């Protein structure tokens, strides 16, 4: 029974699990790290069985790939390339200027701030070329086109262009782009268009006002006519009653004479 317990304990110690890039050292009964570049190793830190990215396996050791290679099988055979490089005949060649991802001379993704429409040769919208760093830097918030961070020539619809800067207008449903310094309008319309709109609304107001006056006049006339007729009927009622009374008296007189 004691032998079985000792055997189980020994089996447990020798089968202890270690981390992914570690191995179990039986002499020290602990987990030790594999050598640099090893993804997995067995029995010793130098006995690598697989490597991490940018390393390749050679004689149980992990050696570094060339810097332009993301992965490789040897120093001269790249299998995948790092950013700004493309693979050709197991070699990684540099993409065109300002290009991050390409296939030969054809660029599919530019570096930050460059426009794919111009093959990454010029800065994209909301960016400007910084000659001191030879890169495209972003314009200030709300600016759509600028030559540097302090000179903006077009603003977002929520901003107004004032003194070569973009001033926030707040939330609104305005449309258009402010691009005229000082005379910019949030709705994107020209002064002539604005004047025409004002004239249209003035004419419309006159028409509506005339219609309201006409309707009110008709209502007043109708009410006055009805009142006049009612008054006329009321005034003729005593005359009618007087006539009836006289007729009755005449009948009574005739009856007395007959008798």
How do the pLDDT tens digits run along the chain, 259 residues long?
455 444 444 445 455 578 878 888 888 888 999 988 999 998 888 899 999 889 999 988 999 999 999 999 999 999 999 888 999 999 999 998 888 888 877 888 888 888 887 777 788 888 988 888 778 889 999 999 998 988 999 999 999 999 999 999 876 545 445 554 444 444 444 444 555 666 878 888 888 877 777 787 666 666 656 554 544 444 455 555 566 556 645 655 555 555 5
Residue 169 lies in a domain: yes
Residue 117 lies in a domain: no
- Rounded CA-CA distance 127/148 in Å is 9
Residue 171 has what pLDDT? 64
Residue 217 lies in a domain: no
Distances (CA, A) of 124 to 120, 179, 228: 8, 18, 81
Give the length of the chain: 259
Residue 55 lies in a domain: yes
Residue 20 has what pLDDT? 78
Residue 188 has what pLDDT? 45
pTM of the model: 0.41
Residue 154 lies in a domain: yes
Residue 56 has what pLDDT? 93
| 157 close to 177: Cβ distance less than 8 angstroms | yes
Give the CATH number, domain containing residue 26: 2.10.220.10
Domain count for the chain, please give it: 2
Final residue in a domain of this structure, among 163, 183, 203 = 203
Residue 158 lies in a domain: yes
Residue 16 has what pLDDT? 57
- Mapped onto helix, strand or coil, the DSSP state of residue 16 is coil
Final residue in a domain of this structure, among 203, 226, 246 = 203
Residue 64 has what pLDDT? 93
Residue 57 has what pLDDT? 92
Final residue in a domain of this structure, among 188, 203, 218 = 203
Range of the domain at 25: 17-83
Residue 91 has what pLDDT? 93
- Spell out a b/e string for 159-170, using b for 16 or more CB atoms within 10 Å of the CB, else e: bbbeeebbeebe
Residue 222 has what pLDDT? 67
Residue 245 lies in a domain: no
Residue 127 lies in a domain: no
DSSP state of 184: -
């Amino acid at each position: 029974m004691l032998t079985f317990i000792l055997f189980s304990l020994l089996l447990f110690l020798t089968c202890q699990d270690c981390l992914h890039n570690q191995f179990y050292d039986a002499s020290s009964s602990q987990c030790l790290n594999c050598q640099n570049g090893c993804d997995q190793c067995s029995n010793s830190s130098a006995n690598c069985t697989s490597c991490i990215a940018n390393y390749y396996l050679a004689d149980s050791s992990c050696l570094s790939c060339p810097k332009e290679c993301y992965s490789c099988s040897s120093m001269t055979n790249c299998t995948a390339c790092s950013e700004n490089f493309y693979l050709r005949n197991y070699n990684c060649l540099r993409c065109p200027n300002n290009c991050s991802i390409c296939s030969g001379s054809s660029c599919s993704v530019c570096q930050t701030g460059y426009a794919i429409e111009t093959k990454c040769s010029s800065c994209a919208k909301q960016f400007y070329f910084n000659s001191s760093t030879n890169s495209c830097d972003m314009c200030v918030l709300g600016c759509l086109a600028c030559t540097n961070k302090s000179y903006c020539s077009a603003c977002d619809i929520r901003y107004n262009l004032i003194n070569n800067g973009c001033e926030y207008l707040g939330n609104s449903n305005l449309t258009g782009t402010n691009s005229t310094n000082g005379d910019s309008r949030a709705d994107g319309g020209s002064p002539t268009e604005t004047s025409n709109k004002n004239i249209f609304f003035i004419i419309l107001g006159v028409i509506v006002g005339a219609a309201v006056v006409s309707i009110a006049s008709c209502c007043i006339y109708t009410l006055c006519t009805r009142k006049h007729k009612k008054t006329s009927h009321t005034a003729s009622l005593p005359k009618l009653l007087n006539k009836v009374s006289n007729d009755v008296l005449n009948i009574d007189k005739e009856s007395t004479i007959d008798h």
